[in-house]
Amino acid sequence: MLPPGSTIGILGGGQLGRMLAVAAAQLGYKTHIYAPDAESVAAQVAAQHTQAAWDDEPRLATFAAHCDVVTFEFENVPVDTLRFLSGHVAVRAGADALEIAQDRLIEKNFVAGLGGRPAPFAAAPDRAALDTAIAAIGTPAILKTVRMGYDGKGQARLAAPDDADAAWDAIDRHAAVLEGFVAFDHEFSVLMVRGIDGETRFWDSPVNIHEDGILATSTLPPPPIVLDQQAEARDLMAAIAADLDYVGVLTGEFFATDKGPVFNEMAPRVHNSGHWTIEGAVTSQFENHIRAIAGLPLGDTASPRLPVVMRNLIGAGINDAPALLAEPGCHLHHYGKAEVRAGRKLGHATWVGTEPA
């Protein structure tokens, strides 16, 4: 068990790191943020901050020497950075989970190997292979870059085979994977935490609505089809976590379809669709992630007061903050980012025991 006063290193300086740092402080820990960006909204609430490149080994070594355990909040931290740090300090979750999640092809093959069901897919490493993939998968389909995709970036839809050139250009001709378009009823996520001893707990699954590829809302309770498919999706996520000897919060995104849950992708970290757990669950995803990596007992994941609605405040949506603060049952989170930009996640609001006005 990590004693109070210890320092938790967090790779990445965004809002996930900020909320992790607040949860760590509540449990008596200090946090040290490491990120290359000039602005870090996590560093605003942390004890220490290193602004340095992911491959700056002397700075990484100094950072590791100041930390008792290191975790990450950003999915595109280079795996080599994690492997380097692992030689100096405990890194949880480990580099293997990150390596899998960073590559859509490796991820889909890994999950299929554990009995999961991703959407039909075919590799499209170059333009010629895209034609072969279209012949195999058909259309409609979605072309996704294998690496560095998030919040709908690096994706293009193909309504017909003729869209191949436009889609290939839209993803900047990066190595990609073509996915069959899934006719889903709903999207939902499985939020789980696994302790150092292997104990595994799940939060209730929210139903998620995306707009322009970005999460807009997460809502509980989910519709019956999601409740029916939650158990199968949980079993898959538990198998993934056990296979990786995973420690911390792990998230899986699924499509609920008439043929059962279809795996979309996983995130080896706390997740936007779990922000509602701060006020909507007995123990939040952030607190349980800190508990897990610190070797503390895991907290209760129950959600005692439904309904719960989490809405992201994206771009100019942050201007709703004053009105939301005046709404009963609404909890506002402002991430403290300086610049308001379209498509940028600037805050979120959570309603517990009530619906948005």
Strand partners, 207: 188, 219
Is 119 a binder of ligand AMP (CB under 6 A)?
Answer: yes
For residue 211, what are the contacts with CB-CB under 8 A and spacing of at least 6? none
Closer to ligand AMP by Cβ: residue 195 or 261: 261
Contact indicator for 324, 330 with CB cutoff of 8 Å: yes
Closer to ligand AMP by Cβ: residue 211 or 228: 211
Closer to ligand AMP by Cβ: residue 18 or 117: 117
Fill in the amino acid letter for 54.
W
- Runs of H (alpha helix) within the chain: 15-26, 57-66, 79-86, 95-101, 104-113, 127-137, 164-170, 224-244, 277-280, 285-294, 321-325
CB of 156 to ligand AMP, least distance (A): 11
* Among 123, 142, 171, 220, contact with ligand AMP (rule: CB under 6 A): 142
Closer to ligand AMP by Cβ: residue 264 or 288: 264
* Among 39, 232, 243, 265, contact with ligand AMP (rule: CB under 6 A): 265
Closer to ligand AMP by Cβ: residue 209 or 323: 209
Restricting to residues 291-350, name those near ligand AMP by CB under 6 A: none
Closer to ligand AMP by Cβ: residue 31 or 272: 272
Is 287 a binder of ligand AMP (CB under 6 A)?
Answer: no
Is 45 a binder of ligand AMP (CB under 6 A)?
Answer: no
Contact indicator for 223, 207 with CB cutoff of 8 Å: yes
CB of 178 to ligand AMP, least distance (A): 9
Closer to ligand AMP by Cβ: residue 53 or 136: 136
Closer to ligand AMP by Cβ: residue 213 or 336: 213
Query: How many Å separate Cα 19 from the centre of its chain?
Result: 13
Is 103 a binder of ligand AMP (CB under 6 A)?
Answer: no
- The DSSP secondary structure of 204-247, one letter per residue, reads PPPEEEEETTEEEEEEESPPHHHHHHHHHHHHHHHHHHHHHT--
Strand partners, 50: 34
DSSP-based three-state secondary structure for 142: strand
Closer to ligand AMP by Cβ: residue 184 or 202: 184
Query: How many Å separate Cα 3 from the centre of its chain?
Result: 28
Is 120 a binder of ligand AMP (CB under 6 A)?
Answer: no
Contact indicator for 27, 288 with CB cutoff of 8 Å: no
Residue whose beta carbon is closest to ligand AMP: 182
For residue 134, what are the contacts with CB-CB under 8 A and spacing of at least 6? 141, 158, 161, 164, 178
Distance CA 104, CA 85 (A): 24
DSSP-based three-state secondary structure for 137: helix
Is 152 a binder of ligand AMP (CB under 6 A)?
Answer: yes
Is 210 a binder of ligand AMP (CB under 6 A)?
Answer: yes
Restricting to residues 177-206, name those near ligand AMP by CB under 6 A: 179, 181-182, 187
Distance CA 274, CA 260 (A): 22
- Runs of H (alpha helix) within 245-330: 277-280, 285-294, 321-325
Closer to ligand AMP by Cβ: residue 264 or 283: 264
* Among 73, 253, 279, 287, contact with ligand AMP (rule: CB under 6 A): 253
Token pair 């999640």 is found at 101
* Among 7, 217, 264, 283, contact with ligand AMP (rule: CB under 6 A): 264
CB of 32 to ligand AMP, least distance (A): 30
* Among 213, 221, 307, 336, contact with ligand AMP (rule: CB under 6 A): 213
Count of residues that bind ligand AMP according to CB under 6 A: 13
CB atoms closer than 10 angstroms to residue 198: 12
CB of 35 to ligand AMP, least distance (A): 22
Residues that bind ligand AMP (CB under 6 A): 119, 142, 149, 152, 179, 181-182, 187, 210, 213, 253, 264-265
